[in-house]
């Protein structure tokens, strides 16, 4: 009812963009992130999206890839899009592969929103744009699992369901900015987001589970709430 876009599956060209930084020049490797790429790609393909995957990019490369994707002609015959970004992060944004101490090579969230707003991405005007970000936004232990901050730090101890040595983190918060955007972050401002080196990010893996269990009968907002 909100988005009366009825495009036949045979002519619909849904596209999704996935950016994941795993290897860095100065920061720790994001062990387990491969599981997130694998899981999110499979989920999005099951939802009918053709997924474009980009690995290990600098902030400038991420900005370029986002801009190119925003002008993708296939969006004309699409009813929505997914943007998934996974990396180390700081309060200012998402770390590129050359980031050092969170002060250089940072992709700001404003850049993402500006690239896909109604002025710069008219091909997606009036169509849902779902933004999912797995990255830290600080160093506080806002939860219990190994973090994706810009600098090494001790893992959280309290409330951790498994050994802290086995876990790593990434951060974010639920936000709705600009028209037709739905954004879900893996943690709140100033806190870390958690990732298991063996199984992937807690946030991403739980998100995949909720989509698989509820996408057939639940609104996107309700799925986000459950995550």
Of the listed 88, 95, 121, 183, which one is catalytic?
A: 88
Of the listed 20, 121, 136, 183, which one is catalytic?
A: 136
Note if 26 is an active site residue.
Answer: no
d(C-alpha 117, C-alpha 167), whole Å: 36
For residue 185, which phi and psi values (nearest 5 degrees)?
Answer: -100, 155
Note if 121 is an active site residue.
Answer: no
Residues designated as active site = 88, 136
């Amino acid at each position: 009812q909100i988005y009366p876009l009825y495009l036949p599956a045979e002519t619909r060209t849904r596209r999704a963009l996935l950016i994941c930084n795993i290897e860095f020049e100065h920061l720790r490797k994001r062990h387990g992130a491969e599981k997130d790429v694998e899981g999110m790609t499979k989920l999005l393909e099951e939802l009918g999206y053709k997924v474009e995957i980009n690995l290990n990019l600098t902030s400038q490369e991420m900005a370029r890839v986002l801009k190119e994707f925003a002008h993708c002609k296939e969006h004309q015959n699409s009813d929505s899009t997914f943007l998934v970004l996974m990396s180390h992060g700081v309060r200012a944004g998402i770390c590129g592969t050359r980031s050092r101490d969170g002060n250089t090579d940072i992709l700001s969230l404003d850049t993402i929103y500006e690239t896909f707003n109604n002025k710069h991405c008219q091909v997606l005007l009036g169509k849902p744009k779902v933004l999912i970000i797995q990255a830290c936004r600080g160093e506080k232990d806002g939860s219990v699992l190994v973090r994706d901050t810009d600098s090494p730090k001790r893992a959280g101890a309290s409330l951790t369901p498994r050994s802290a040595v086995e876990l790593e983190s990434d951060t974010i918060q639920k936000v709705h900015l600009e028209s037709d955007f739905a954004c879900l972050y893996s943690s709140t401002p100033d806190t870390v987001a958690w990732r298991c080196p063996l199984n992937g990010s807690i946030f991403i893996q739980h998100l995949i589970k909720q989509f698989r269990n509820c996408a057939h009968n639940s609104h996107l907002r309700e799925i986000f709430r459950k995550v």
